[in-house]
Structure 1
Amino acid sequence: MSVFDLGPALLFCPADRPERFTKALARADAVILDLEDAVAADAKAVARGAVIESELDPDRVIVRVNPVGTGDFEADMATLSQTDYRTVMVAKAESVKRLRKLDPRFRVVALCETARGVVNADRIADLDNVVALMWGAEDLVASLGGTSSRKANGRYRDVARTARARVLLAAGARGKAAIDAVHLDIGDVRGLRREAKDAAATGFTATACIHPSQVDVIREAYLPDGKQISWARAVLAAAETERGVFAFQGRMIDEPVLRHARAVLRRGGAD
């Protein structure tokens, strides 16, 4: 299974909490076993052991490993070599040279969450072993010396919005999947729904989340409603009898609009 096929809701799970692994995978479209920030330094060895002992569907598992060039990264990759898990999310991905040299057995989700990583996103997306890009807001702002990625109203600051767009464009330009960042305020369901809807509308393949309660909100946001699906089917049917640009329901229709319609049907499982 390709990372493109996982589904829209990817749930992070601390790798040192093996009692949660099966439940997390059952709840979400895929689980991201986190060996990086979610695990304290003195618990990483235990977490690696838990990953080795786990028996999850490898097609629906991504393992977030520590940044390339660290001792923890080397230990993480040695751990994964003892498992069937072959999709890794590389934290704080920055160096094209280092990412290119990773073990070719592994598919890479490059997490561009620093200023350098975002600036290099286009070159990272061009790597053959990279199947997807994700971005992260808090580490990005920290790398700039800032203190908050969001304004008081909960909306992203401009620098975060710029990074989000840049990573999405880099992934899209290279035909790779793009994963939207987590929404840290678990209680802010409205904000999560707004951002997930925007992610789906602009071309993100999935949104990562940190709590099971966020999964259904994301799935619903990515799923087109009945009106959108009906419009997509109707406009594509009309296109079969029209040539070139044509008018449909008072709107000019050309090939980009037809591609939008096809995307709606794909997300709705109705193509």
Structure 2
Amino acid sequence: MGPALLFAPADRPERFAKAAERSDAVIIDLEDAVAPEAKAAARANMAACTLDPATTMVRINALDTADAALDLAALARSPFRTIMVAKAFDLGAIVRLSEYAVVVLCETAAGIIAAEELAKLPNVVGLMWGAEDLVASLGGTSSRFTTGARAGQYRAVALQARSQLLLAAGAAGKVAIDSIYADFADLDGLAEESEDAVASGFGAKACIHPSQVAVVRDAYRPSEASVAAAQELLAAADAAGTGVFAFKGQMVDGPILLHARQTLRRATP
């Protein structure tokens, strides 16, 4: 799946095809985006959806809720076999979903603490974190500063959780998905956060509005100058034929070359 993942509420089936056209992958949402009284219809919409299963996943409710059992029953009637599990933390419950490729959404204190072990499970293909549910699970009120010079920036606990999940995913060789940027009108803030996600190693970022997709894609797409610089560096490495060499006044070794290869990988459609 590409870098821009777009949530689509399952109670709004008219949005499914548009979401698929505008994003790299769609997350059909049976959880927070759907009111309790609309969940039954949302499940029916999901089961009848004809989007490509290769670029579609379904977010189900937390596995310790009654809604999750109903979600899974509806999924069994659908073509979709990649799911995102909300508020994941229970290893045994995730293991039992062996017929699915699972993205664990670690958005509680228990989920972040369990991320390292969740990432090791064979049916887990990715990990995502969620800021607001995490802070709520701690009894807090906001994941970001709301006033002053740091307004809009994550608080320390959210940054730690974000880093902890990224490290857990990386250590297990699984993709890490960065959390949503809730202020969908603030595209500049989204661009800054997306650029940090790319530089830090997140493989994708979730979006809640179609206008965010282009911003995320731009962040993940290297500039022509970056691609040219990476190609020049790798050519110089081939010519040097040594493990460490000097290039334009700097010493270059394995990690620097890996960064260059990753730049070229992101430049390939």
* Superposition TM-score tier, normalisation by shorter sequence: over 0.9
Matches of 1:92 and 1:48 in 2, distance apart? 19
The CA deviation at 1:96 is 1.0
Structure 2: runs of 5+ lacking an equivalent: none
How far apart, in 2, do the equivalents of 1:73 and 1:234 lie? Answer: 51
How far does residue 23 in structure 1 lie from its aligned partner after superposition? 0.3
Aligned-partner SS, 2:239: coil
* 2:136 alignment partner in structure 1: 142
The number of equivalent residue pairs is: 264
Structure 1 position 98, deviation (Å): 1.3
> 1:119 aligned to 113, 134, 141, which one?
113
For 1:55, the aligned partner's letter is: T
Match of 1:50 among 33, 38, 45: 45
After superposition, residues 167-206 of structure 1 pair within 5 angstroms as 167-206=165-204
For 1:71 and 1:249, the matched residues in 2 are separated by 61
Residue type of the partner of 1:66? Answer: N
Structure 1, residues 129-162: CA drift from partner, whole Å, max 9, x if none?
A: 0000000000000000000000121000010000
Is the counterpart of residue 224 in structure 1 residue 222 in structure 2?
Answer: yes
Q: Which residue does 1:82 correspond to in 2? A: 77
Runs of 4+ in 1 over 6 A off after TM superposition: none
In structure 2, give the amino acid aligned to 1:249: K
The residue number in structure 1 matching 2:35 is: 40
For residue 168 of structure 1, give the secondary structure of its aligned residue in structure 2: helix
Q: TM-score, normalised by structure 2?
A: 0.97
CA contact 2:9–2:33 (8 Å) conserved in 1: yes
Q: How far is the alpha carbon of 1:240 from its aligned partner?
A: 0.8
Residue 130, structure 1, aligned to residue 124, structure 2: yes
Find the counterpart in structure 1 of residue 161 from structure 2. Answer: 163
Equivalent position to 1:68, from 63, 72, 91? 63
Structure 2 residue aligned with 1:238: 236
What is the root-mean-square deviation in Å for CA atoms of aligned residues? Answer: 0.8
Q: What is the Cα deviation at residue 86 of structure 1?
A: 0.6
Separation in structure 2 between the aligned mates of residue 196 and residue 222 of structure 1, nearest angstrom: 8
2:92 to 76, 91, 97: 97
Per the alignment, residue 3 of structure 1 pairs with none
3-state SS, counterpart of residue 109 of structure 1: strand
Q: Matched residue of 2:132: which SS?
A: helix
After the TM superposition, which of the residue ranges 123-132 and 223-232 deviates more from structure 2?
Answer: 223-232
What TM-score results when the alignment is normalised by the length of structure 1?
A: 0.96
The aligned amino acid for 2:250 is: R
**2:129/2:162 contact within 8 Å kept:** yes
Give the letter for the 2:103 counterpart. Answer: V
| Cα shift at 1:69 | 2.3
SS at match of 1:146: coil
Whether the 8 Å contact between 2:47 and 2:79 is mirrored in structure 1 is no
